[in-house]
Amino acid sequence: MTIRWALLGPGRHADRFVVPQMKRAGDTELIAVMSRDRTRGEAFAQKHEIASVYTSLAEVLRDRHVDAIYDATPDGLHVQHAIASAAAGKHALIEKPLAMSVRECVDAIVACRTRGVKLGVVFNQRHEAVHQEARRMILQGEIGEVKLVYVQIPLRLTMPRPASPTTNWRADPKMRYGGIALSIGDHAHDTLAYLIGQQIEEVSIFTDASRDDPPNDQVCGMVLKLSKGTIGYAAASFATPFARRPFEIHGTIGTLIIENSFAYLTGAGEDPTPSLILVNETGAAARRFAASECFRLEVEQFNRAINGQGEPTTPAHEGLRILAVGEALYNAMRTNRVARVAEFLPKEL
């Protein structure tokens, strides 16, 4: 069955990546867009050939043709949109982060479960072909027991420009989910855990934050202990525009090196294509991969989940765990101690 979607938040991310790829997705019709400003919504709808423009969520949810919403609004609105969508019987695929806290994420999960609608969060990098292949090799034991993993994600932006909360939601702690450790570090630690098929259990972190409430970290390094004993190091940065994105996964009989994945962070196409190098006793073998249309793949998997075939790529309970890792990281930052993720997970789910 074709799924009919409404986009909330026709901003930069939606315009550059999400919507062009949604338009190419199978079994997908993007039939509506919601903007707070009708003129802006109409311009976006015209550019991307979207039939309906709404200026409030209530109007979107009254449209009985809409099956699912894709939420690309600021972080602080995600949970209320998921809960309202569930109440209207619509499925919700939410840009990361799923919520601003574990506590409010639980409310969204309960609302969606109660109404029997799907709730997923977009951790798009999981779809990259090079990541999928590395994960397959690791899970099939091709590098043996994984002992050590290193993932680094710098944004190629220079330092974010000074902004005020009234002109830029990213400067408003009620709208923006954390500094670098949460807003880009979540991509780094989620990729690390996803690649090796383990869960993060303990965390410690160092950052350059000069304030801790709310933290204003621009550079962070996290040391992670995973469920099968692997040690992970995940780094993220806004302040090092020339840094690369090397990932290294070291096992007892081989090493995998991934370069140039997360191509969309730089505006895919400017970089060499992603590569995967396997190093073992026979030498080093490199393969190149095309950059993947991660948002198209994300939407297609969500459609399948709605149609009863599997689950969203990152289902809500995994989005919740990623938030718990974030809360553990900020606890570790504030206390200068190791934090256990289990202590930040809700008891009731």
Ligand X SMILES: NC(=O)c1ccc[n+]([C@@H]2O[C@H](COP(=O)([O-])OP(=O)(O)OC[C@H]3O[C@@H](n4cnc5c(N)ncnc54)[C@H](OP(=O)(O)O)[C@@H]3O)[C@@H](O)[C@H]2O)c1
**Cα(190)–Cα(98) distance, integer angstroms:** 13
DSSP summary character for residue 167: T
Is 178 one of the binding residues for ligand X (CB under 6 A)? no
Closest by Cα among 75, 217, 227 to 160: 217
Residue with CB nearest ligand X?
11
CA separation (Å) from 138 to 4, 58, 66, 132, 287? 36, 46, 40, 10, 16
Part in contact with ligand X (CB under 6 A); list of ranges 3-11, 195-203, 213-221, 334-342: 3-11
Using CB under 6 A as the binding rule, the residues of this chain from 21 to 40 that contact ligand X are 35-37, 40
Q: How many residues does the chain have?
A: 349
Q: Residues 98, 319: contact at Cβ < 8 Å?
A: yes
Find the shortest distance in angstroms from Cβ 35 to ligand X.
3
Is 206 one of the binding residues for ligand X (CB under 6 A)? no
Is 103 one of the binding residues for ligand X (CB under 6 A)? no
Binding-site string for ligand X from residue 48 to residue 87, where x marks contact by CB under 6 A and - marks none: ------------------------xxxx-x----------
**Cis ω before 214 (30° cut-off from 0):** yes
Identify which of residues 7 and 332 has a Cβ nearer to ligand X in the complex: 7
Identify which of residues 35 and 207 has a Cβ nearer to ligand X in the complex: 35
**Cα(76)–Cα(180) distance, integer angstroms:** 16
Closest by Cα among 109, 7, 11 to 66: 7
Is 13 one of the binding residues for ligand X (CB under 6 A)? yes
Question: What contacts 24+ positions apart, CB below 8 Å, involve 165-172?
Answer: 169/74, 169/76, 170/74, 172/76
Find the shortest distance in angstroms from Cβ 77 to ligand X.
6
Part in contact with ligand X (CB under 6 A); list of ranges 11-19, 100-108, 134-142, 310-318: 11-19
Part in contact with ligand X (CB under 6 A); list of ranges 5-13, 24-32, 249-257, 275-283: 5-13
Is 122 one of the binding residues for ligand X (CB under 6 A)? yes
Q: Which of 95, 190, 271, 293 binds ligand X (CB under 6 A)?
A: 95
Sign, CA dihedral 87-75-95-330, equals negative
Identify which of residues 37 and 212 has a Cβ nearer to ligand X in the complex: 37
Is 317 one of the binding residues for ligand X (CB under 6 A)? no
What single letter denotes the amino acid at residue 273? Answer: T
Find the shortest distance in angstroms from Cβ 96 to ligand X.
5
Find the shortest distance in angstroms from Cβ 298 to ligand X.
9
CA separation (Å) from 258 to 37, 179, 232? 42, 26, 15
User: Which chain residues interact with ligand X by CB under 6 A?
Assistant: 9-14, 35-37, 40, 72-75, 77, 95-96, 122, 124, 169
